[in-house]
Amino acid sequence: MNIQIPRGTQDILPGEVELWQYIEEKAKDVCRRYNYHEIRTPIFEHTDLFQRGVGDTTDIVQKEMYTFTDRGNRSLTLRPEGTAAVVRSYVEKKMYGQPNQPTKLFYTGPMFRYERPQSGRMRQFVQFGVEALGSQDPAIDAEVLALVMGLYEELGLKNVKLVLNSLGDKDSREAHRQALIDHFRPSINEFCDDCQSRLEKNPLRILDCKKDREHPLMNNAPSILDYLNEESSTYFSQVKNYLDRLGIAYVVDPTLVRGLDYYYHTAFEIMSEGEGFGAITTLCGGGRYTGLVEEIGGPSTPGIGFAFSIERVIMALKAQEQAIPAAPQLDCYLVSLGDAAKEKTVELLYQLRRAGISADKDYLDKKMKAQFKAADRLQARFTAILGDDELSQGKINVKEMETGEQSEIDLASFIDYIKGKTVGGK
């Protein structure tokens, strides 16, 4: 019986993985410039962390978690997102007590959600995210947005749209919550079961319901922006002001609701408006959170962050037919003729690699012609040909593939010669 890859997961093979590496390296480089440092947390955590952190009424917690009981009878969950885990570590390692504040972290790694797989929606996907903890300055909201928008620009992503909203502070949200309950209650039996159960627990999430999107009450639902108190409204204006000063374009959408419970004040998504991107258009989501650190047992600390999946960035890059970086070329391929020469290439190959040169040889006893073909396929910059005759004379032939130029080199200086032409040269 053939065993196949689990639904909603993928293999990333050589040829494709270079694009992943390229995006990851660019993202890390941007984080370095913004002074965000990498954190690596476990792939599984106590289930309780996500129930409390992400929120009991969210789809993630109610329907999508990969939860299992380990042999010690503990309930563990494969992380569905990174923020709760980062905050858990922040609290546990008392990062709030460290001298450099705010604490600015980034992470990348696989996340798991039991969702219905479709283009852009996987059960295992890789998120890249940042979290800045310990500052309530609207300038840090702008910094986080500048970081991700700048990264997308450097990656060459076109047609991205930053959609912004404010969910207000606790008081504003409470007033809005009540207005939503009053708005939906008279007709709540026309809504799906999920919405009905959310009416009292978390009416904001009704606005995010995919099933009831077309219901007339959705269009004229009370807007959070009408319920922002002065402090929240000033905060939102300041964030927008900073974005204007940085020249970062955005649109305000008062219906933007995030799928996780922890957000207050700034909430945002970045959408791809490129053609051919498919039904799911959200590239990135994030926002500001206030109660999360306390919820997880730390001192009251504000935070803000975002995450996007590399899968969706790749989809967007492919949809716009962005040139994809090619696999790196091999510096040198060794071709041999005769037994003594073949043995010698094992040594030469070892020395080349130790000198920092990427190199390979044939291991399938191929004929010389087939060895040359392999060198071509690997796009080797240099092919070095060693026959038993050359070996006995202490020589080796080196061909520069691009120019076709051939030189006979002393074996003793061969490594230095290739080094000078590749890693040590231009």
Query: What is the number of the residue whose Cβ is closest to ligand HAM?
Result: 305
Return binding residues: 81-83, 113, 127, 131, 258, 262-263
Nearer to ligand HAM, 204 or 374 (CB): 204
Chain contacts with ligand HAM (rule: CB under 6 A): 81-83, 113, 115, 120-122, 125, 127, 129, 131, 259-260, 282-287, 305-309, 311-312
Residues 409, 398 contacting (CB under 8 angstroms): yes
Q: Which two tokens stand for residue 133?
A: 């903890």
Structure tokens at 181: 């309950």
Helix (H, G, I), strand (E, B) or coil at 391: helix
Q: Which residue, 11 or 365, has its beta carbon nearer to ligand HAM?
A: 11
* Identity of the residue, 298 or 387, whose beta carbon is nearer to ligand HAM in the bound complex: 298
List the binding residues for L-histidine.
81-83, 113, 127, 131, 258, 262-263
Pick the closer one to ligand HAM by CB: 254 or 287: 287
Contact criterion met (CB below 8 Å) for 151 and 130: no
Amino acid at position 100, single letter? N
Cβ nearer to ligand HAM, comparing 265 with 361: 265
**Is residue 252 within 8 Å of residue 165, measured between CB atoms?**
yes
The CB-of-379 to ligand HAM minimum distance in angstroms stands at 33
In 10 A of CB 29, how many CB atoms?
12
| Nearer residue to ligand HAM within complex by CB, 196 or 322 | 322
We find the least distance from the C-beta atom of residue 223 to ligand HAM, in angstroms, to be: 21
Radius of gyration of the chain (CA): 28
- From the CB of 128, what's the least distance to ligand HAM, in Å? 9
Instruction: Give least dist CB 169 to ligand HAM, A.
Output: 17
H helix count then E strand count, the chain? 15, 16
DSSP letter for 226, please: G
**Least distance in Å: CB of 58 to ligand HAM?**
9
User: Given the complex with ligand HAM, which of 45 and 81 has the nearer CB atom?
Assistant: 81
CA–CA separation, 63 and 43 (whole Å)? 19
Q: Closest approach of Cβ 425 to ligand HAM, in Å?
A: 42
Residues 141, 200: contact at Cβ < 8 Å?
no
Smallest gap, in angstroms, from Cβ of residue 335 to ligand HAM? 45
**Closest to 348 in 3D by CA, of 368, 338, 328, 333:** 333
Q: What is the DSSP string of 114-132?
A: ----BTTB-SEEEEEEEEE
Query: E strand or H helix at 29, and its extent?
Result: helix 17-33
∠ Cα 287 95 298 (to 5°) = 70
Least CB distance to ligand HAM at residue 417 (A): 48
Rounded to whole angstroms, how far apart are CA atoms 23 and 140? 24
Task: Specify the DSSP class assigned to residue 253.
Answer: -
Q: Are 228 and 166 in contact (CB under 8 A)?
A: yes
CA distance 67 to 64: 9
Instruction: Please state the closest distance from residue 157 (CB atom) to ligand HAM, in A.
Output: 13
For ligand HAM, give the closer residue by CB, 191 or 268: 268
Of the pair 121, 421, the CB lying nearest ligand HAM is at: 121
Instruction: Kindly write down the DSSP assignment for every residue of 85-117, as one continuous string.
Output: HHHHHHHHTTGGGSSS-SEEEEEEEEEE-----
**What is the spatial distance between Cα 49 and Cα 264, in angstroms, rounded to a whole number?**
19
